[in-house]
Structure 1
């Protein structure tokens, strides 16, 4: 996906891991407000285009535009397709810690659907916790699932994504 020019330099693309993403509308709203491109990625069984408004541009206009990327149904297909298209400074919306780790490794940003911004300082611990919980479940044990998704989670996500976009645009500077 080509990156668009912006007054301050290259604009980040917001990439949404749309498989079971409860904040696609909020991410699109931030992108519209900030004039950023969006790629909605998910498995081919979903109607990804349903998230895009009828009048939204689907090609680079120099401002907001949105496109979709349908991938195969296989495990982690969307994750690998996202990483393949990722550019430094892009922002990925995901609830998948493994994808968040790959995103950070590519000098991009990752934000969870509840508004948690993943960082290099904590991603190793997040991965270790995920690994330990998976081991417990494989052995027949139970782990605590996530709390019900709330309006506060939605609001926190939108505010933190907006802040992350601001930081990303400011840090990218002019292209050189």
Structure 2
């Protein structure tokens, strides 16, 4: 059975991701650091909750360790998305952007340039407010991804 991994640290669509995974016959693994309350997910059938230490990227490494080709990941982290794609899994942002192997290197380069700018004191605007349209787009794209996770490659 394929698995949908949810990087639940600051993920606004965890419930929706679990629901769509179950509708498509996928199991779901919710991974978060110790500051998150995962009890609300652990009791659901077909859902595994994995609590990791609060260390930097601990949730990402816990996902990558368990990930197999054909699985999928919901994450805001471009680095985790790149690792997932490298293992033959699909990757999707909480706003419904499907990550692609053909463009992930460019996205990593942009992320690096933005981090460098911030370290030098440059300003970078934060993300826009998460909307109902974002949520609907996420659900549509997740359903598409779960039907064919390899198509995102």
TM-score range (shorter-chain normalised) is: over 0.9
Taking the TM superposition and a 5 Å limit, the aligned residue runs for 1:52-131 are: 56-57=44-45, 65-131=46-112
Determine the C-alpha separation between the residues in 2 that align with 1:47 and 1:141: 34
Gaps of 5+ in 1: 5-11, 58-64, 171-176
What SS does structure 2 have at the residue aligned with 1:160?
Answer: helix
Determine the C-alpha separation between the residues in 2 that align with 1:169 and 1:124: 18
Determine the C-alpha separation between the residues in 2 that align with 1:140 and 1:43: 28
Aligned length: 151
Gaps of 5+ in 2: none
Structure 2 length-normalised TM: 0.94
- Asked whether the equivalents of residues 24 and 51 of structure 1 are also in contact (C-alpha less than 8 Å), the reply is no
Determine the C-alpha separation between the residues in 1 that align with 2:73 and 2:35: 21
C-alpha spacing 1:127/1:108, structure 2 compared with 1 (3 Å): same
Determine the C-alpha separation between the residues in 2 that align with 1:153 and 1:96: 17
Deviations 1:69-105 (A, max 9, x none): 1111000000001000000011000000011011111
Deviations 1:34-88 (A, max 9, x none): 1210000011221112135x5x32xxxxxxx111111110000000010000000
Determine the C-alpha separation between the residues in 1 that align with 2:150 and 2:70: 8
Alignment root-mean-square deviation, CA:
1.5
- Aligned counterpart, 1:47: 37
What SS does structure 1 have at the residue aligned with 2:102?
Answer: helix
What SS does structure 2 have at the residue aligned with 1:38?
Answer: strand
Stretches (4+) displaced over 4 A = none
Determine the C-alpha separation between the residues in 2 that align with 1:50 and 1:169: 31
Structure 1 length-normalised TM: 0.82
